[in-house]
Structure 1
């Protein structure tokens, strides 16, 4: 009897943390790309180590806080350190591709090609949830990012939105409207020096400021794409480093929950 009761409680808990989600779970696989973004720097011990937008990185450059949000809602974190193939994307529910390298960032960047774009597009069409996070053009391989984004009716522009000079934090502020379907608890967030997005086909604006699309979504087959022109939710902006009143920690939580809710239920 105790064993049956324990199983029931576990199922109820898993259901409660993703209330409203269409997916089953927990243990959704959330992959962050470490192939197209593959940067190194010298660590405290003097040895070269991976850094920039990876789950296990707990300093300001890492995604450990965002990773914790996915775990909270039943996600299981994984790093995708090879070029995407039909085989190695099997079992992946959410695939995050962030800040593709240029030669400015790494000596031998891995560039995306059209066969890989097709692999990713087919994976999304079959039900995958893809996140594309670009950057301003001086800090990302924008042509490569747009090669992928173009498959979904998205194009990151060569511009800089929400430009912040010095300590003018207010210039990077975004106010989230009431009733936003993605960011349900975050009301005031910080996001600076990003590229805007041009839309075509089925792509839709998810947030617009001064006529520029800053967040976009696409329904593609059974899957979903979320796009933003910046790596954004890394620890520097989600760990209390910002002035009081900003909700980037809530935004990381909101986006993780929304992405999980886009995973199709499996039969």
Structure 2
């Protein structure tokens, strides 16, 4: 059960643990015990005592950890390297590895940063059906990340500001982007040329366009796909070949 403390109490406790470390109490395990003392203000001592009294010492553990990376400022460049910790994936991914997560994190919009990632659709779990993909997202009202691995072993996909759905018009915002790890990681953001971000049909899903092929296109069975340069994202083909076959496909939401 969580316990709430005032800002002052937390400050006292934080100062105590920052200034105290096990090295101040014991030296090497074969050497003689050393004693060093930390001076603590009486008021801080009483606060620390009140915080610790409800929990017996055997339930406490103090560990040394490296300085945690701080979250990238909302005002920082989207192309700068991410200082974020890796996201927490609620479910196991058949595709995403630590390297993929590290590189994607710096490009996820600020409103999705710090959230856990939940798998809402997977061909391995739900089968290969675009209709099922739409059905799995019917209740969502937040961004989603699509991740594809094709039969060439290449990983690529798209971040959509809106969950995928059937629509008679294009939807989405300038947060939407395409990305590829084939052969190295690249992100393709909105050019401002048009607003053909996403359009969903029962027989296909389209992302990007403008006077030609789509930046990313998938068929009704989520088996065949294609990727061409498009005006919306000015992207290169996401896969090694314009036309590809899907091996695995996942869609993640941010909760």
Which structure is richer in relative contact order (CA contacts within 8 A, separation 6 or more)? Answer: 1
What's the TM-score once normalised by structure 1's chain length? 0.29
What's the TM-score once normalised by structure 2's chain length? 0.30
Radius of gyration: which is bigger?
A: 2
